Amino acid sequence: MDAGNQTGVSQFLLLGLSEDPELQPLLFGLFLSMYMVTVLGNLLIILAISSDSHLHTPMYFFLANLSFVDICFISTTIPKMLLNIQAQSKDISYIGCLTQVYFFMVFLGMDDFLLTVMAYDRFVAICHPLHYMVIMNPHVCAFLVLMCWFIILSISLFHILLMMQLTFCTGTEIPHFFCELAQVLKAACSDTLINDICLYVATALLCVFPLTGILFSYSQVVSSFMKMASTEGKYKAFSTCGSHLSVVSLFYGTGLGVYFTSSGTHSSQRSSVASVMYTVVTPMLNPFIYSLKNKDVKGALGRLLS
C-alpha cells in the first residue's frame, strides 16, 4: 500500500501503558475503578447543585459545568482503553482517532477555560461584593460558558482539519493509551511543520492567557484579603477560594509535570504514564476536593444522599 495514500490508512495501533500481558488485568481493574469513581463523583456534584436551591449561584453553576466537562473528558480516553485491554487489541480506527483527538482537545480546553472563569467569579465576589449579582447575572454566566465552548470547539476543529491533510503509513503505532495530538503528529509520514507551529501557538495562547487571568484575579483577591480587618471575614473569603485554588494547582501542576517529563526524557511510555495524572487523576479528585473543602457542597451532598 502506498504510504502517501491517506485514505488507505484505516486504523492506528495504540501501544498503551504497558505491553506486559500479566499487567493487563491489573490495569483494567485499576482504570475501570478510577473511571467509575470519577463519573459517580462528578455526577453527584451535578445532582447536588441542581437539587439544592442554595447552590443556584454563579460559582456553583460553573462548578456543575466543570463536573460535566470532567465526565466527558475522562470518557474520551478511558472506555476505549478498557475495551482494547478486554479485547486484547490495540486497534483504533482512523476516524476514531481523529474523533478522540478532537474531543480530548475540546474538554481539556474547557477545563482550562472554566477554571479561569471561576477565578474571575471569585475576583468579582470578593473584590466587588455589592455588585456581584449584577455583574455575574445568569445571562453573563451563560454567555461566558457559551463563549468558552465556541472558542475551543473552533480551535479544535481547525487542528483536526489540518491533521486531515497529513498522510500516515500503514500500521502506524502511537506510543500512548489514547490518540494525543502531539503523538499522532509525530507518527505522520508527511511534513507536520504547519501543524506543529499551530499546536505550539494554540498551546501557548490557551495556557498563557487563562493562567494570566487566574493569577491576576487572585492577585486582586489577595490584595482585598490584606485590606480586611475582620479575621472571620478573611476566613470566609478564603474558604470560598480554597477549593478552586486546590483544583487549579492540581490541574496546572500535573500538566506542567507531564510537559517536563516529556521534554526531559525520550521514553514515550514514561510520558504516557505521566499523562495519566491530568487525564484521569485530576478529574477523579476534583469532586473530592470540592466536597471536602466546601461546606455548602458537603451539606448538599448529605441532603441528596439522605
* Structure confidence at residue 4 as a pLDDT band (50, 70, 90): very low
Partners of 14 in beta bridges: 174
Ordered by start, the domain boundaries in the chain are 6-305
Digit-coded pLDDT (tens) for 194-213: 999 998 888 888 888 898 99
pTM score: 0.89
Q: Are the CB atoms for 82 and 177 separated by under 8 Å?
A: no
Correct CATH for 6-305 of 1.20.1070.10, 2.40.10.120, 3.10.20.30, 3.40.50.2000: 1.20.1070.10
Statement: residue 60 has pLDDT above 60: yes
What does the buried/exposed string (b/e) look like for 91-119 if buried means 16 or more CB atoms within 10 Å of the residue's CB? ebebeebbbbbbbbbbbbbbbbbbbbbbb
Q: Are the CB atoms for 198 and 162 separated by under 8 Å?
A: yes
Least confident interval from 50-59, 208-217, 255-264, 297-306:
255-264
